[in-house]
Amino acid sequence: MNTIINPDRKSWSEILKRPTFTTASLESVVKEVFDEVKENGDVALKRYTEKFDKVSIDNFTASKDELENAKKVVSDELKAAIELAKNNIEKFHASQKIEKKVITTANGVECWQESRDIEKVGIYIPGGSAPLFSTVLMLAVPAKLAGCKEIVLCTPPDKNGNINPAILYTANLVGVTKVFKVGGIQAIGALTFGTETIPQVYKIFGPGNQYVTAAKQVALSEGIAIDMPAGPSELLVLADESANAAFVASDLLSQAEHGADSQVICVSNSKNFLQEVEREINTQIEELPRKEIAKKAIENSKLIYLENNKDILDLINEYAPEHYILAVKNEDYYLNGVINAGSVFIGNYTPESAGDYASGTNHTLPTNGFAKAYSGVNLDAFVKKITFQKISEQGIKNIGNAIELMAEAEGLQAHKNAVTLRLKSLK
């Protein structure tokens, strides 16, 4: 890892750059696939699945038999783990429901807000070297709680045309309505336009590689909402000598193994501690099955030493990490100063992996600095907020003149007249 000592503020933007990641160069490929999916539907899906996934699929729909067989294949131990995670995710996201509350803004004027589910949502689940069945929980559980009528899941098939059993089992467990064996750009295109088999949805959720990310951006330009802009996974750990270097190294590697373009950063006010962390990384990485991927990610990663607490806090908020682990004595100072972060993990016994799987919070989070303006996925992501108002005769008398004056000042006479006619009728 690159070690940086007391960097000047002027250099922070350069130091904190993410690994190069741009979707612009991929847009022509995405648009080509989208155009064909829009024009030729399932025929295009079949062609691109053969081209990109190297498998011929005649029926994209996962059958009831496949869903039932997944129950037999997944071990009882894994089923129990999935059930535990599901329950915790349900508890946490159910707490985000907001009850209807009628507010009287003036005598005779009542206003309130109600949530309505997004009727059709699509969730994309990567299924390559790391089939993310945990993401099925993170997306389908809140979708179900929100009341979404259709939850459509797309995931790429393996070389035999099958879906990972854990993905199928989890999808069935949480109430996904339809599961399809299609991945990549073509899956996002299908959810955007609809085909003979796959229904169009109103919003698309889920992580993916650079092609999926670019496809989601193009889907947005086609009028389909997406959860958030996405990029490679990232983690920042703030730790001092009260932390455990082995724990910190394991957390850094847990994100580094996601992909070669992932980025991990460790910030500390102790040079000795950073050296311990680096030694631990070099030891632990050799034991990882995905060590070649992790090693490439570590090349993009940094150990940063800063002396001053305010500088440390400012640097972290400037970076706006997707995942932020806080393992320091002066915990309250940093917690009170958190402004930009996707999800925060506090203390020596709170690994980032907990949020990825079973603590209850959502692991679909803003990356690439988008935590400055975006929240991670939560219950609100699956609903629209509709406002309501009801005004009585007394109410229109109370606010009517203000409306007339404001409308007239803006030169909108018809707006004024809509109030004036009502006021005259009450005289």
Any binding-site annotation on 356? yes
- State how far the alpha carbon of 350 is from the alpha carbons of 86, 216, 356, in Å: 19, 32, 11
Structural tokens at position 15:
């130091």
Does residue 22 have a pLDDT over 70?
A: no
- Does residue 5 lie in a domain region? no
CA distance 22 to 336: 34
Q: What is the pLDDT of residues 192-249, one digit of tens each?
A: 999 999 999 999 999 988 899 999 999 999 999 999 988 889 999 999 999 999 999 9
Boundary of a domain, candidates 226, 250, 280:
226
Q: What is the pLDDT of residues 112-170, one digit of tens each?
A: 999 999 999 999 999 877 789 999 999 999 999 999 999 999 999 999 999 999 999 99
Domain match, 241 and 309 both:
yes
- Does residue 40 lie in a domain region? yes
Structural tokens at position 399:
């606010």
Domain match, 99 and 127 both:
yes
CA distance 85 to 135: 11
- Does residue 380 lie in a domain region? no
What average pLDDT score do residues 309-319 get?
A: 98
Structural tokens at position 131:
């089939």
Does residue 386 have a pLDDT over 80?
A: yes
Q: What is the pLDDT of residues 43-94, one digit of tens each?
A: 999 999 999 999 999 999 999 999 999 999 999 999 999 999 999 999 999 9
CA distance 314 to 10: 13
- Does residue 197 lie in a domain region? yes
Domain match, 265 and 161 both:
no
CATH value at residue 165:
3.40.50.1980
Domain match, 332 and 274 both:
yes
- Does residue 18 lie in a domain region? no
CA distance 357 to 248: 18
Any binding-site annotation on 186? yes
Any binding-site annotation on 233? yes
Any binding-site annotation on 96? no
Any binding-site annotation on 209? yes
Boundary of a domain, candidates 184, 203, 226:
226
Q: What is the pLDDT of residues 334-360, one digit of tens each?
A: 999 999 999 999 999 999 999 999 999
Q: Closest by alpha carbon to 261, among 23, 18, 3, 24?
A: 18
- Does residue 1 lie in a domain region? no
Does residue 378 have a pLDDT over 90?
A: yes
pLDDT at 375: 96
Domain match, 148 and 275 both:
no
- The count of domains in the chain is 3
pLDDT at 23: 66
Other Cβ atoms less than 10 A from the Cβ of 126: the count is 19
Boundary of a domain, candidates 210, 226, 242:
226
Domain match, 236 and 216 both:
no
pLDDT at 127: 85
Domain match, 103 and 200 both:
yes
Identity of the amino acid at 136: V
pLDDT at 21: 59
Any binding-site annotation on 93? no
- Does residue 240 lie in a domain region? yes
Q: Closest by alpha carbon to 118, among 366, 385, 364?
A: 385
CATH value at residue 411:
1.20.5.1300
Q: Show which residues are catalytic.
A: 322-323
Identity of the amino acid at 293: I
What average pLDDT score do residues 389-410 get?
A: 98
CA distance 263 to 34: 30
Q: What is the 3-state secondary structure (H, E, C) of the chain?
A: CEEEECCCHHHHHHHCCCCCCCCHHHHHHHHHHHHHHHHHCHHHHHHHHHHHHCCCCCCCECCHHHHHHHHHHCCHHHHHHHHHHHHHHHHHHHCCCCCCCCEEEECCEEEEEEEEECCEEEEECCCCCCCCHHHHHHHHHHHHHHCCCEEEEEECCCCCCCCCHHHHHHHHHHCCCEEEECCHHHHHHHHHHCCCCCCCCCEEECCCCHHHHHHHHHHHHCCCEECCCCCCCEEEEEECCCCCHHHHHHHHHHHHCCCCCCEEEEEECCHHHHHHHHHHHHHHHHHCCCHHHHHHHHHCCEEEECCCHHHHHHHHHHHCCCEEEEECCCHHHHHHCCCCCCEEEECCCCCHHHHHHCCCCCCCCCCCCHHHCCCCCCHHHHEEEEEEEEECHHHHHHHHHHHHHHHHHCCCHHHHHHHHHHHHHCC
Query: At 311, is the pLDDT very low, low, confident or very high (cuts 50, 70, 90)?
Result: very high
Q: Taking every pair of C-alpha atoms in the chain, what is the biggest distance, in angstroms?
A: 85
pLDDT at 208: 87
CA distance 29 to 20: 19
Domain match, 43 and 126 both:
yes
Beta bridge partners of 152: 122, 178
For all residues of the chain together, what is the average pLDDT? 96
Domain match, 319 and 212 both:
no
The pTM of the whole model exceeds 0.85: yes
- Does residue 266 lie in a domain region? yes
- Reported as half-sphere exposure (CB side, CA atoms, 13 A), residue 134 has a value of 18
Q: Are strands 178-181 and 150-155 parallel, antiparallel or unpaired?
A: parallel
Domain match, 275 and 348 both:
yes
CA distance 202 to 119: 7
Domain match, 65 and 138 both:
yes
Domain match, 214 and 298 both:
no
Residue 150 lies in domain: 24-108+116-226
Contact 327, 239 (CB under 8 A): yes
